[in-house]
Structure 1
Amino acid sequence: MRRLEAFTLATFLELQPTYVTVLIHQARYNIPISYDEYSFLEIMQEEPLLLLPVSHDRRHLLLDRLAADPIALQEMKDFEGAADSPVSSEGA
């Protein structure tokens, strides 16, 4: 299995047919997306706060790799649990 590259979590802002706009450390980025990613994000955009995995270089989403990486899935599960905690911080 290919090792997952470093990534950051970005706040979802806006969806367009060919790109998604996200916020990372108070800066906006337009990241190109595929039709499948668009379809998925179109459903997910109803969530009040949606965090998306973005490559470290901020050039593409990592949705497909996260779905297949057990370590990343565990980290995301831990992150979700931390978000429910009264003492949580960005990057936890």
Structure 2
Amino acid sequence: IKLSEFTLSELHRQTLDSNINLQLADLQGADLSGATLIGANLRCALLVKANLAQMSLQGAHLVDAMLGHADLRQANLQNSILSKVTLTEAIMPDGSVR
């Protein structure tokens, strides 16, 4: 699956499997709430101001991703790799702001 096959609005509540590669993807301001991205590769992805609320990111690779101002409330980050992730003023699953 290529990201270009979806508009950003179509990613809302979408289930995307591990075949999708969002490496270097620019998803600034995208509404990904309720989407399932199990095992997705989000290395170096730009998710600034993205809405990730209630999103399932199990096993996702968020290495070097930019998550500034992202809404991560109730996001499922189980088994995800979050290395060198930039979380400027992001809303965390517990409601805290980092």
Q: TM-score, normalised by structure 1?
A: 0.21
Say which structure, 1 or 2, has more relative contact order (CA 8 Å, 6+ apart). 1
Task: Answer 1 or 2: which has greater strand percent.
Answer: 1
Q: TM-score, normalised by structure 2?
A: 0.20
